[in-house]
A and B are shown apart, each in its own frame.
Chain A
Amino acid sequence: QQQVKQSPQSLIVQKGGISIINCAYENTAFDYFPWYQQFPGKGPALLIAIRPDVSEKKEGRFTISFNKSAKQFSLHIMDSQPGDSATYFCAATRAGKSTFGDGTTLTVKP
């Protein structure tokens, strides 16, 4: 049973466009929802995170939208840049342990 479902698997966006990645979770006990960015040959690195008592969090061009009742959260990348091309993972965390989505490979075309 996959506890965190992520979509799409891959995404191609033109430079300056908006990239949207969606995740859905099942366990209502999760209490921390981070997004990680991974470049080839590197480990994932925290991009932005949200707690379930907040519906939206914005940091620069990156925004998390959180819908607790629907058990869904999404990452929006505004004004997408070629340097944003990477793999993005959503995660849901409880008691220190994180469950990850399968990842989205984002390609931003110049």
Chain B
Amino acid sequence: DAGITQSPRYKITETGRQVTLMCHQTWSHSYMFWYRQDLGHGLRLIYYSAAADITDKGEVPDGYVVSRSKTENFPLTLESATRSQTSVYFCASSELAGQSLSPVYNSPLHFGNGTRLTVT
């Protein structure tokens, strides 16, 4: 089925370890995003990508690294995990709507089912 697949669904890691969360989408959407969800903070943007090889920081990028060599994949790496990075991570994608129009209009986000990461 088409959609966004995140893996793993659950991950427990130790402080200081490197961990990579995977995200794969089958829609060929231009935009991809990583959000973290914490109680009391809603969804906060970590990084986003407008196309392959184009990435940019969001609201809370410190301690994270992303890459996007192919349109369909957008992995998120925690270089040295900390307890404060315990969270639920959501990957999302959206198409760039109205490319032939001016101005460009936004389109909705399509989310995966998340990865619950625990850093001990």
Q: Chain A: residues with CB nearer than 8 A to chain B?
A: 6, 31-32, 34, 36, 41-46, 49, 51, 89, 93-103
Contact = CB atoms under 8 A, between A and B. Distances in A.
B42 A34 contact: no
A31 B104 CA distance: 10
B105 A46 contact: no
Contacts of B112: 43
A50 to B, nearest CB: 11
Given A34-B109, A97-B48, 20 more contacts: A31-B103, A32-B106, A36-B109, A36-B111, A41-B113, A43-B4, A43-B111, A44-B90, A44-B111, A45-B111, A93-B106, A96-B31, A98-B33, A98-B106, A98-B109, A100-B42, A101-B42, A102-B40, A102-B42, A103-B42
Chain A facing B: main interface SS: strand
Nearest to A51: B105
Contacts of B58: 97
Contacts of A103: 42
| Range class of the B interface residue count | 20 to 34
Given A32-B105, A96-B31, A96-B96, A42 B41 contact: no
Contacts of B103: 31
